């Protein structure tokens, strides 16, 4: 095969290895996430309210840290989104170590936007430095399709190249992919078992609408 004209990291993160968090692990992660929620300033959205049940998304591991995204609704009608990251412990129980949580809140929810086909959250967690000073934003993307129960896998595409993919678990997916690189930005697509595309969304849908 000829050399790549524009090298970019593909499938940089490990695929999910564990089921969605439950039991003691879920309790530990929830405690960290709720701690991060205390630092959220909802701003113009109003009071945060009480955080409800946490929906966990598939874990992904990159550079030695495992990232577990989450979403929860609050009693004030906002949506809390964020992640907990950790290093897998070496003891016999495999307890997580060096935990870190990041959380934010938004009033832009899927219920308030019936035109959405995929409900997506994203957070930049690192950088990949390419040639000539170009830098890709390594971005954690998690979400769920809003097109029914046929979706089986989600992909992240950068400039028409698939740079990550993840099977859906309980209707949820997590991707970790380079974004904003060489003039290209990420798009997320979901597919059925026969590899038919069901829906596609850009991480920058609101910006594109504003430009139009």
Scanning the chain, the segments in alpha helix (DSSP H) are 23-37, 205-211
* Interatomic CA distance for residues 89 and 22, integer angstroms: 17
- Give CA 102 to chain center in angstroms: 12
For residue 47, the model assigns a pLDDT of: 82
For residue 2, the model assigns a pLDDT of: 86
For residue 212, the model assigns a pLDDT of: 47
Longest dimension (CA), the chain: 56
Model pTM score? 0.92
170-192 pLDDT per residue, tens: 999 999 999 999 999 999 999 99
- Give CA 175 to chain center in angstroms: 6
- Residues listed for the chain: 212
DSSP state of 3: P
| Residue reference for tokens 């004030």 | 76
* Interatomic CA distance for residues 21 and 113, integer angstroms: 28
Tell me whether strands 186-191 and 197-202 are parallel, antiparallel or unpaired: antiparallel
For residue 89, the model assigns a pLDDT of: 72
Residues in CB range of 198: below 8 A, 6 or more apart: 117, 145, 147, 148, 150, 151, 189, 190, 191, 192
Spans of the chain, pLDDT less than 50: 92, 212
Domain spans, the chain: 23-211
Q: Does residue 153 contact residue 191 with C-beta atoms inside 8 Å?
A: yes
DSSP state of 36: H
Alpha-carbon distances, residue 143 vs 2, 57, 132, 174, 209 (angstroms): 35, 8, 33, 7, 21
Q: What is the CA radius of gyration of the chain?
A: 17
For residue 63, the model assigns a pLDDT of: 95
* Interatomic CA distance for residues 144 and 123, integer angstroms: 16
DSSP state of 21: P
For residue 209, the model assigns a pLDDT of: 52
DSSP state of 70: E
């Amino acid at each position: 095969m000829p050399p790549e004209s524009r090298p970019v990291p593909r499938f940089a993160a490990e695929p999910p290895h564990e089921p969605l968090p439950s039991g003691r692990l879920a309790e530990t992660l929830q405690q960290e996430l709720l701690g991060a929620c205390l630092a959220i300033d909802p701003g113009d959205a109003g009071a945060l309210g009480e955080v409800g049940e946490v929906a966990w998304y598939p874990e992904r591991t990159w550079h030695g840290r495992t990232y577990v995204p989450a979403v929860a609704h609050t009693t004030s009608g906002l949506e809390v989104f964020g992640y907990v990251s950790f290093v897998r412990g070496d003891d016999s129980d495999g307890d997580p170590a060096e935990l870190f949580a990041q959380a934010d809140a938004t009033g832009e929810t899927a219920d308030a936007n019936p035109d959405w086909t995929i409900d997506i959250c994203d957070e930049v967690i690192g950088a990949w430095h390419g040639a000539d000073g170009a830098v890709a934003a390594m971005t954690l993307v998690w979400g769920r399709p809003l097109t029914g129960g046929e979706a089986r896998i989600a992909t992240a595409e950068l400039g028409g190249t698939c740079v990550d993919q993840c099977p859906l678990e309980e209707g949820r997916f997590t991707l970790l992919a380079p974004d904003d690189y060489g003039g290209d930005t990420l798009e997320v697509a979901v597919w059925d078992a026969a590899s038919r595309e069901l829906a596609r969304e850009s991480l920058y849908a609101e910006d594109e609408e504003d430009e139009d």
